[in-house]
Chains A and B, each alone.
Chain A
Amino acid sequence: GAVVSQHPSWVICKSGTSVKIECRSLDFQATTMFWYRQFPKQSLMLMATSNEGSKATYEQGVEKDKFLINHASLTLSTLTVTSAHPEDSSFYICSSFDRARPFTEAFFGQGTRLTVV
């Protein structure tokens, strides 16, 4: 099946610094990438939807200036958490689907555990 590779799998950073998370589709073209956040013992909440070559669409309550999303190619989307604070500590995970087969199985990255100290 299709593979989405997400890096890093975990990161610890100091408060005030920025962290970039990458998601790459390895064997299909990811026209659209979805970014989710998961707090401990909670479900996944959609943060934003990015489309290749255009601006991301953010869900209500998600600060677009804090969570910068870039989707410059059909195989790479990045999420940058800017000026991170401890409350940004969470599990971030990306998802996409094979554009050749829309509305079928969604493929997820391995997730990134972000800890801001």
Chain B
Amino acid sequence: KQEVTQIPAALSVPEGENLVLNCSFTDSAIYNLQWFRQDPGKGLTSLLLIQSSQREQTSGRLNASLDKSSGRSTLYIAASQPGDSATYLCAVTGNTDKLIFGTGTRLQVFP
């Protein structure tokens, strides 16, 4: 059974810092990995999608890497801003299209 864990569970940093959020999964037989952002009481916003054959994806200040063989992904946020405050979720897809979500990282960026 696939299990997805995210570290740290919570993070509070001053504005401007570069951040690394970690995601690990137990079954490396995945098709892709997705990073999402969730604001309090809201739905999900897709940030980045990495196919299993890819090593990384970039969008603006966000960069996500994937090491499928070791079951790890990292989300790098450059020059963090207060508007980046949210919960970040990673999710993996296996051969059934189901997304298995990680435990989430609650990020707070203060001015």
Q: Contacts A34-B98, A44-B101; is A106 near B34 (CB within 8 Å)?
A: yes
User: Contact: B93 with A106, CB < 8 Å?
Assistant: yes
User: Contact: B42 with A111, CB < 8 Å?
Assistant: yes
Interface centre among B34, B42, B89 (most CB of A within 10 A): B42
Q: B42's closest neighbor in chain A, by CB?
A: A111
Instruction: Name the interface residues of B70-111: CB closer than 8 Å to any CB of A.
Output: 89, 91, 93, 96-104, 106
The tally of residues in A whose CB lies under 8 Å from a CB in B reads: 26
Whether, in the assembled complex, B22 has its beta carbon less than 8 Å from a beta carbon of chain A, the answer is no
Flag A6-24 by CB within 8 Å of B: 1 or 0 each: 1000000000000000000
Partner of B98, one of A46, A104, A107: A46
Chain A residues with Cβ under 8 A from B43's Cβ? 6, 93, 108-111
User: Contact: A46 with B99, CB < 8 Å?
Assistant: yes
Question: How many angstroms from the CA of A97 to the CA of B98 in the assembled complex?
Answer: 10
User: Contact: B46 with A49, CB < 8 Å?
Assistant: no
Q: Shortest CB–CB separation between residue A112 and chain B, in angstroms?
A: 9
Whether, in the assembled complex, A85 has its beta carbon less than 8 Å from a beta carbon of chain B, the answer is no
Whether, in the assembled complex, B49 has its beta carbon less than 8 Å from a beta carbon of chain A, the answer is yes
Chain A residues with Cβ under 8 A from B34's Cβ? 105-106
Q: Shortest CB–CB separation between residue A61 and chain B, in angstroms?
A: 13
Which chain A residues have a beta carbon within 8 Å of chain B's beta carbons? 6, 32, 34, 36, 41-46, 49, 91, 93, 95, 97, 102-111, 113
Which chain B residues have a beta carbon within 8 Å of chain A's beta carbons? 31-32, 34, 41-44, 46, 49, 51, 89, 91, 93, 96-104, 106
